[in-house]
Amino acid sequence: MVRVGIVGAAGRMGRAVADAVSADPGLELVAAVDPAGAGAVLHGVEVAPELRALAGAGAQVVVDFTVADAARTTLPWLAMHGMHAVVGTTGFSDDDLAAFRSAFTASNCVIAANFAIGAVLMMRFAEMAAPWFDSVEIVEIHHDQKVDAPSGTALETARRIASSSSDWAADPTRKVVVGGARGGRGPGGVPIHSLRVRGTVANQEVVFGAQGQTLTIRHDTVDRTSFMPGVVLACKKVAERKGVTLGLGDLLGL
C-alpha cells in the first residue's frame, strides 16, 4: 500500500486526486495540504496549511497540482525529505526542470503536463506525423480559470514536434493587423494559439498541412476524471523511475 499525500488538495484537480487515491486499493490517502482549504476534511483526512503535515503523516508519494510558483518551493522540499513526487502542475521553464533534476537524487519525480492517455497518444501521433508535413500549428482550448498560457500540453507537443522535424514552410504573414493574431511561438518556432473558454476543461488540436491535404489530431477532455488513471499509475510507478521522468509516455511504454 503506497502512502500518498496531496498538495493543492482543495483545488479542482487536488479534489479529483483525493477521490481517485481513496478509491484505489493499492493507495492510501494519508495527508492533504492546501492553505486555501485548511480545516476541510477529504476522505477522512484533514487539509493542513503547511507541507510539514506530509512528513508527519509519513507520505511516501506526494501528488502536486498547484501553480508553478508554489511547486518551485514544494518540489525541492519533497526531495529534501526523501519523498517521491508526482507532478501535474504546469508552467515550468527549462531552468525549473534542471533545478528539479539536481534536487531529486534520493527520491524520484514524475512530471507530466497531461495525465490523460488520449493526450499522451495525441503527442506521440503528432511526433510521428511531423516529418511528413510542411506546416503545423497548435490550438489549445482551456477553461476560463487557467492562469498559465500556453498550456503545458501545448508546449510539450511543440517540443516533441520540434524534436521530430525542423523543416517547416515559412510563415506568409507580412502584416499583423491585430497583435497576437498569429499566436505565440513555442519550441522550434511552432505556433501555439491559446483559447480560454468558460464551460470547457482541456482540448487541443494539432493541425498539420502538406500539398493538397491536412491532418488534424484532436484530443478533448470533458471531465477531470480523465487524468486520474494516469495519476494513479504514476503514484504506483514513481518509486521505480530514477530521478526526474518527464511525461507519462515512458510509464506507458509509448
Residue in 70, 145, 64, 171 with CA at minimum distance from that of residue 110: 64
Using the rule CB under 6 A, give the single segment among 60-68, 97-105, 162-170, 187-195 that binds ligand NAD.
60-68
Work out whether 113 is an interface residue with ligand NAD (CB under 6 A). yes
Q: Number of residues interacting with ligand NAD: please give it, by CB under 6 A.
A: 24
Work out whether 112 is an interface residue with ligand NAD (CB under 6 A). yes
Q: Which is closer to ligand NAD, CB of 77 or CB of 168?
A: 77
Work out whether 150 is an interface residue with ligand NAD (CB under 6 A). no
Work out whether 194 is an interface residue with ligand NAD (CB under 6 A). no
Q: Which is closer to ligand NAD, CB of 208 or CB of 221?
A: 221
Q: Which is closer to ligand NAD, CB of 19 or CB of 209?
A: 19
Work out whether 247 is an interface residue with ligand NAD (CB under 6 A). no
**Closest residue to ligand NAD using C-beta atoms:** 11
Cβ contact 4:83 at 8 Å? no
Which residue from 1, 12, 98, 223 is in contact with ligand NAD, where contact means CB under 6 A? 12
Work out whether 238 is an interface residue with ligand NAD (CB under 6 A). no
Beta strands 191-196 and 184-185 are antiparallel
CB of 220 to ligand NAD, least distance (A): 13
Binding site for ligand NAD (CB under 6 A): 7-8, 10-14, 33-36, 65-67, 70, 88-91, 112-115, 227
Active-site residue list: 142, 146
